[in-house]
Structure 1
Amino acid sequence: MNGTSGASTNGHQNGHSLTGPRLFSVNKPPSLDEFKKLTTQSKPLHYPLAASVEANVPIYDLPEFAELSPDQRSALQDEWYHILLSGPGVFVTKKLYKDNTLLNTVSDAYASIIDEEKKRSGKRGDHFAGSGANDRIWNSFSKHCVQDAKSFVEYYSNPWLPLISSAWLGPHHRLTAQVNIVKPGAKPQISHRDYHLGFQDNESCAKFPKALQVASQFLTLQGAVAHSDMPLESGPTRLLPFSQTFEEGYMAYRIPEFQNYFLEQYVSVPLSQGDGLFFNPALFHAAGQNDSKDILRSANLLQISSAFGKPMEMIDTYPLVEATWDALREMHQDEGSSDRVMAFVGNVAEGYPFPTNLDRRVPETAGMAPESEQGLLVRGLNEKWSKEKVLEELQKMRDDSRA
């Protein structure tokens, strides 16, 4: 019915992957000019099933799910896949949840969880925003179920969720959720990309080859369900359409020039209670500033992961470290952090700190990841920990990481 604009060249095919070094360099900044071309130069692309397009964001009016034939569902998925891959990278689904009574019941459950957690002492973390600026529930999925199982069943039995998710991720994906309530006067997030590489610093990110920099976006779908109306003055998510097509985006988003360009060019679309927003995790985006006087901008943020992000076998690090720590300490005493020492640490322990419990392993401001098992072992070697000490710390990390 309506058309939108699309990037004239696909950043995934811009030649970087065919020639030159396998890695992006922290010493050679990405091209802002190339980024501007991808996000501004366009040719018409049409999404006939969209009801409208606002600021390059396709808007879909969802009918009753049961009324759609399998072919009609597949046609919607085809459009969403194209949008996420090489189109604007984001779309809105109006009335993803039509029952506002259900949403209010779920929001009441969230409020109870927030009140309970505020009574506990301890630092509260956030991602890409200052700690404590908003009300945040980590793992709202599990906590909602424990708090109010009846509304949990009604909420997560929505058949639109797997249809949208599988358009990008295929079958067997896993859903997680985190609530974010942004108060009046709250400042915006810094512009960023999301999980996985979005939670690394530039030096860590640069260690991943170019192909994986691009592949990261295919492992996750970001979504949000509006639990309140979100007029523009309340600061709904800031978006930069087509920015997901920029290969070097995970290297670029932390650079001030790119952040400033985002602030000049971002768009936002208002949402109503029950609407859904879904986007490629590589899209440059940020929660907006809440300039309203009295709107608590409330969203349940959905982070949906591909089935492929799992190993073939489960490795239990604890007994391996228990059996080898004395020999490893001796090797470290003789060689320091040699290639052999680091190779062993890398093989015996987990180097990636997710998934984890973000209530107990509080994220740093700007989304820094917590310490990994490998990082803990290296620290233990440098500080000459005993076997008892390293096993105690490893067990604490495991306990703190559990849901």
Structure 2
Amino acid sequence: MRITIGIRCMVPKPPKVLAGRQNWLKASDFKLDDLQAVLAHKLKLSDLTFADDIQQQVPLYDGPALLAQMHADTSGEQSAQIQSEWQWVWESGPGILVIKQAFADAQVIDRAKSLFDDIYQHEKLAERSATDHFAKPGANERIWNAAEKLCVQDPELFARYYGNELLRLAATAWLGPGYQITSQTNSVNPGGQAQVAHRDYHLGFMTPDQAEAYPAHIHRLSPALTLQCAIAHVDMPLESGPTLYLPHSQKYPLGYLLADCAPLHDYFATHRVQLALAKGDLVLFNPALFHAAGTNTSKDIKRAANLLQISSPFGRAMESVDRAKMSRLLFPQLKALAASGELSAAQIDAVIAASAEGYAFPTNLDLDPPRDGLAPPSQQALLRQALAEQWSEAAFELALERHGEKRTT
């Protein structure tokens, strides 16, 4: 039987009385019973098509198996179905999933970790060691803007690391094309204490008073602007303190107002879940999910991960990144890797998405008017054109410079 659904445009009637705070959230409205009601739903494996297991309400996916399914289906329909399932998990389900062996080449992970260790030691000697938003000083070793630093130090390694089709599939599932990747590596030493439970960027980086100033629809919008990820650079048994999560908590509307809420933190401490990870696993979650890095109780495990914030092209990423510089450094490496066949076209596309600017705006429309569409070409479009047409390095650098000049006043 075929079901036809008719859609009518319904214009809501304005409320007769506009007094009060109908579109404003208040921390004082928090009730633990309301939160528990949101968390009461339990996901079953039968609810999902592509997951291999569910542990503590977290769906687990087999990365190599997913890639095989994607490559076997040239229509792209399988990929679209996987993306639809993930989008549902992040928005309406537990808010978190894990792709096992998403980064299957251990050598690439090890090379990246070694380079990040060197960068941290250099910054430490230069007295530039970073601090953590949600942990005590000295609990960990953090590198800000790790994506650009990796690209500058070793663009070929950057290409191999970020030429990851599963990461691209996940990012476009939540954010669409043109997203912006920023990253910070974090190594938690033995004895490093846990973070406090929190939500992430954007509203998660505000005090409750600051977040209250934003209307309710912005609280709903904020999670749609970012996908939070963690790439395990080492095996992480539970004793090493992998991240703690509260599945389904991203659906609680007052969550951004509870940074100082003792009942919330007490509840999190007794109901959070924690999963051991293996090197190369990829955790992806809604930034509104309550989470916190755990305490490293091990004697000799330095827990190391690369933390990614993948931002919508329609929002502001957390870090400033010189994407023109990254594009210039990557161009000859991508040409060589494409010519040798070491990276596929899909992997090259993933690298471009992780580096070059994918959105045409803001720009100076006097100097950079739309030519063949509604928007001028983006930095990503320029890089793709240069690779497709086999430009020289000099030609690409000149075009990149002119592209940047057009975007200034």
What's the counterpart of residue 332 of structure 1?
none
Q: What CA distance in whole angstroms lies between the structure 1 residues aligned with 2:102 and 2:43?
A: 30
What's the counterpart of residue 308 of structure 1?
314
Query: How far did 1:87 drift?
Result: 0.2
Query: How far did 1:354 drift?
Result: 5.0
Quick check: 1:282 aligned with 2:288?
yes
Question: Does structure 1 conserve the Cα–Cα contact (< 8 Å) formed by 2:129 and 2:143?
Answer: no
Query: How far did 1:20 drift?
Result: 5.0
Going from structure 1 to structure 2, the CA distance change for 1:87 and 1:354 (only over 3 Å counts) comes to closer
Matched ranges for 1:3-402 at <5 A: 21-26=22-27, 28-42=28-42, 44=44, 46-62=47-63, 63=65, 64=67, 67-69=71-73, 70-121=76-127, 124-309=130-315, 355-356=319-320
**What do residues 36-64 of structure 1 show as CA deviations (whole Å, max 9, x unaligned)?**
12113447561121010000000000223
Counterpart residue type for residue 53 of structure 2: S
Q: What CA distance in whole angstroms lies between the structure 1 residues aligned with 2:259 and 2:57?
A: 21
Question: Does structure 1 conserve the Cα–Cα contact (< 8 Å) formed by 2:101 and 2:281?
Answer: yes
**What do residues 68-127 of structure 1 show as CA deviations (whole Å, max 9, x unaligned)?**
421111111111000001100000001111111111111110011011001012563212
Question: Does structure 2 conserve the Cα–Cα contact (< 8 Å) formed by 1:221 and 1:305?
Answer: yes
Q: What CA distance in whole angstroms lies between the structure 2 residues aligned with 1:354 and 1:109?
A: 23
What's the counterpart of residue 317 of structure 1?
none
Q: What CA distance in whole angstroms lies between the structure 1 residues aligned with 2:41 and 2:239?
A: 28
Counterpart residue type for residue 213 of structure 2: K
Structure 2 SS opposite 1:60: strand
**What do residues 156-197 of structure 1 show as CA deviations (whole Å, max 9, x unaligned)?**
111211111111111111111100001111100000000000
**What do residues 214-240 of structure 1 show as CA deviations (whole Å, max 9, x unaligned)?**
110000000011000011111111000
What's the counterpart of residue 370 of structure 1?
none
Going from structure 1 to structure 2, the CA distance change for 1:242 and 1:232 (only over 3 Å counts) comes to same
**What do residues 323-349 of structure 1 show as CA deviations (whole Å, max 9, x unaligned)?**
xxxxxxxxxxxxxxxxxxxxxxxxxxx
Question: Does structure 2 conserve the Cα–Cα contact (< 8 Å) formed by 1:235 and 1:290?
Answer: yes
Counterpart residue type for residue 166 of structure 1: T
Counterpart residue type for residue 161 of structure 2: Y
Going from structure 1 to structure 2, the CA distance change for 1:68 and 1:139 (only over 3 Å counts) comes to farther
RMSD, aligned CA: 1.8
Structure 2 SS opposite 1:221: strand
Going from structure 1 to structure 2, the CA distance change for 1:280 and 1:166 (only over 3 Å counts) comes to same
**What do residues 283-309 of structure 1 show as CA deviations (whole Å, max 9, x unaligned)?**
000001111111111100010000111
Question: Does structure 2 conserve the Cα–Cα contact (< 8 Å) formed by 1:239 and 1:286?
Answer: yes
Query: How far did 1:150 drift?
Result: 1.7
Q: How many residues align?
A: 296
Question: Does structure 2 conserve the Cα–Cα contact (< 8 Å) formed by 1:181 and 1:297?
Answer: yes
Question: Normalising by the residue count of structure 1, what TM-score does the alignment of the two structures yield?
Answer: 0.71
Question: Does structure 1 conserve the Cα–Cα contact (< 8 Å) formed by 2:130 and 2:144?
Answer: no
Going from structure 1 to structure 2, the CA distance change for 1:123 and 1:302 (only over 3 Å counts) comes to closer
Q: What CA distance in whole angstroms lies between the structure 1 residues aligned with 2:261 and 2:197?
A: 10
Moved runs in structure 1, 4+ residues, more than 2 A?
40-45, 63-68, 121-124, 353-357
Question: Does structure 2 conserve the Cα–Cα contact (< 8 Å) formed by 1:217 and 1:280?
Answer: yes
Question: Does structure 2 conserve the Cα–Cα contact (< 8 Å) formed by 1:124 and 1:132?
Answer: no
Q: What CA distance in whole angstroms lies between the structure 2 residues aligned with 1:253 and 1:29?
A: 14
Counterpart residue type for residue 143 of structure 2: I
Question: Does structure 2 conserve the Cα–Cα contact (< 8 Å) formed by 1:124 and 1:131?
Answer: no
Q: What CA distance in whole angstroms lies between the structure 1 residues aligned with 2:193 and 2:224?
A: 30
Counterpart residue type for residue 93 of structure 2: G
Q: What CA distance in whole angstroms lies between the structure 1 residues aligned with 2:134 and 2:193?
A: 11
Q: What CA distance in whole angstroms lies between the structure 2 residues aligned with 1:110 and 1:204?
A: 34
Q: What CA distance in whole angstroms lies between the structure 2 residues aligned with 1:195 and 1:184?
A: 27
Counterpart residue type for residue 279 of structure 1: F
Query: How far did 1:275 drift?
Result: 0.5
